[in-house]
Chains A and B, each alone.
Chain A
Amino acid sequence: MAGLSPLVSVLLVAPLMFGLGILLQRGLLNRTLNTGMLPPLLTTFGLSVIVQNVLQIGFSADTQGLDAGSLEVASAQVVPGVTLGVLPLITFAVCVLILAGLNLLFSRTPLGRAFRATSDDPATAELMGINSRQIYGLAMGLSLAVVAVGGVLLGVRTTFAPSDGPARLIYAFETVIIGGLGSLWGTLAGGIILGVSQNVGAQLNPAWFQLAGHLVTLALLAFRPTGLFARTRDA
């Protein structure tokens, strides 16, 4: 390949994934939407099995990494005595920027209104002239684009293998459960809480990294099932 820095490649990967998301939703998943939530759920599950195994054939089961050069180890002194890695800082900044952008999109633009209306009640939204299938396509495109950014940042930070997806899906799910459905800033808080609890768990016992995250999620589910900052009720 051209040897682009991974962080620059995002500018190509994200739009590509956006297009792929629209194609996927409009070409395939929209066809499964008429009879409840089981068909889309199982279709995507089947797709995930296919994608994992295609990746395994293409790239073998070995772990890979994205090389961002010296950036990976660079660190900056924030206040005297406290140094933070540049990469984590960039990751955090990108994350906040994306969330802020999405928040603006959802709360301030006609498109965002259409998203929210379709999410609340697709039938009524259609009566108001919204093409819900188009909205689903855009939502999937947007979602894949954001995931692509996350994936690249993650790939720079750590190694990955074809079968790593499901574990990441679980983290994403836990983040949303902790933060609360429909709340973007809640997701940020959820992600931080999940990450901190995983690392605290790992400090106590190296084997407890994932377990701590699961337990925090389940505890939250038990005591505050709507999450910390829930905005919608259809959890």
Chain B
Amino acid sequence: MKGNRMPKSESLPAAPVKPFHLSLRVLAVSGIALVAALLSLPLWASANLMRTLVEFICFLAMAQMWDLLAGYSGMVSFGQQTWIGLGGYTLIVFADDLGVNMFLAVIVGGVVTALVAVPTAALAFRLRGGYFAVGTWVIAEGFRLLIASSTEWLQGGLGRTLTAAGNMPRNEREMFTYWLAVVIGVGSVMLVYWLMRSRVGLGLTAIRDSEVAAMSVGVKITRIKLLVFIIAAFGTGVVGGLIYLNALRITPQSSFNIQWAAYMAFIVVIGGLGTIEGPIVGAVVFFTLREFLADFGPWSLILLGGIAVFMMLVAPEGLWGLAHRRWGAEIFPIRRRLKPES
């Protein structure tokens, strides 16, 4: 398995790098402390910081979902913006047209995208590799054009505004939005963690390493991939709802934009594919870069693209992969290793 190869004897260091694990207790305590700090933030921090954190969490969670597809399951999708857009529009329709509570409508967005993901997968799964990547993108474009052609109901290319947001005092709305974001962010990490430690995760690892071998030991490849595709659509759909709960205004052009997929890929590649820590590290790096580069227009994108290409050539395992190789760092252990006989 990746990362577990025994070093060759001549290159063996004096003491082999021992996996660095935090004990479960340390992990649980620091995890709870972090979540408590995050949840209590509205009591002591500025609204500006809260909005920034919501944005950060959106990137983190959508990258986790993209990593679930690309990193663990080998399904590189350039069409995850489908779920961002559908989640956002579901929020608008349910909250504004059907009168559902807008925070609940964010979750409904996930359910709707999960449902739409089933027929979508039926089409996309006929493609492999690069064709799958572009095929999912075509599907996203199809949805964008469909929604843009609804000029009356969804106001076409003009997009719509979340008017339900006006029913609630602003600071209250922002506080609830923030709390929902924390739940979604922590939830996305825990979901992937739990999934990868389950039977599904074992099957996925097998598929990633060799589809044929996995099939021969009885892994139900299509079923597992479909499950993962649907889960990723659900997660990304919820994020889509959250993005537009925060932004309050949605257009087909912005929500079904391939830019989202590019951000997801960038974050995961920089941080480290196929790990939970990777997208977290990547999201921090991306978010920091984005804040600093905001004024540089096209140059910032050139730099981001350059960094991604550079990382792919020099360290395809990402920053967290480097840290893992160097120090054996692991916070969310999801790798399975053989115990060497002693």
User: Which bucket holds chain A's interface residue count?
Assistant: 35 or more
* Bound-state Cα–Cα, A53 to B302, Å: 6
| Contact present for A37 and B130 (CB under 8 Å) | yes
| Contact present for A170 and B142 (CB under 8 Å) | no
Interface membership of chain B positions 38-50, coded 1 if the CB is closer than 8 angstroms to chain A and 0 otherwise: 0000000000000
Interface membership of chain B positions 297-338, coded 1 if the CB is closer than 8 angstroms to chain A and 0 otherwise: 011011011101100110010000000000000000000000
| Contact present for A45 and B135 (CB under 8 Å) | no
Interface membership of chain A positions 202-224, coded 1 if the CB is closer than 8 angstroms to chain B and 0 otherwise: 00010110110011011001100
* Bound-state Cα–Cα, A166 to B137, Å: 10
B229 interface residue, CB < 8 Å from A? no
| Contact present for A214 and B141 (CB under 8 Å) | yes
How far does the Cβ of A167 sit from chain B's closest Cβ, in whole Å? 9
At the interface with chain B, which of A27-35, A79-87, A88-96, A132-140? A27-35
B214 interface residue, CB < 8 Å from A? no
A114 interface residue, CB < 8 Å from B? no
Number of interface residues of B (CB under 8 A): 41
Interface membership of chain B positions 85-129, coded 1 if the CB is closer than 8 angstroms to chain A and 0 otherwise: 000000000000000000000000000000000000011001111
The A contact surface, by secondary structure, is helix
Among the interface residues A37, A42, A49, A234, which one has the most CB atoms of the partner chain B within 10 A?
A: A42
Residues on A with C-beta less than 8 A from B122 are: 222
How far does the Cβ of B269 sit from chain A's closest Cβ, in whole Å? 6
| Contact present for A211 and B306 (CB under 8 Å) | no
Residues on B with C-beta less than 8 A from A42 are: 76, 265, 269, 308, 312
| Contact present for A221 and B123 (CB under 8 Å) | yes
User: Which B residues are within 8 Å of any A CB, using their own CB?
Assistant: 70, 74, 76, 78, 122-123, 126-131, 133-135, 137-139, 141-142, 145-146, 148-149, 258, 262, 265, 269, 273, 298-299, 301-302, 304-306, 308-309, 312-313, 316
User: Which A residues are within 8 Å of any B CB, using their own CB?
Assistant: 28, 31-32, 35-39, 41-43, 45-50, 52-54, 56-57, 166, 169-170, 173-174, 177, 181, 205, 207-208, 210-211, 214-215, 217-218, 221-222, 225, 234-235
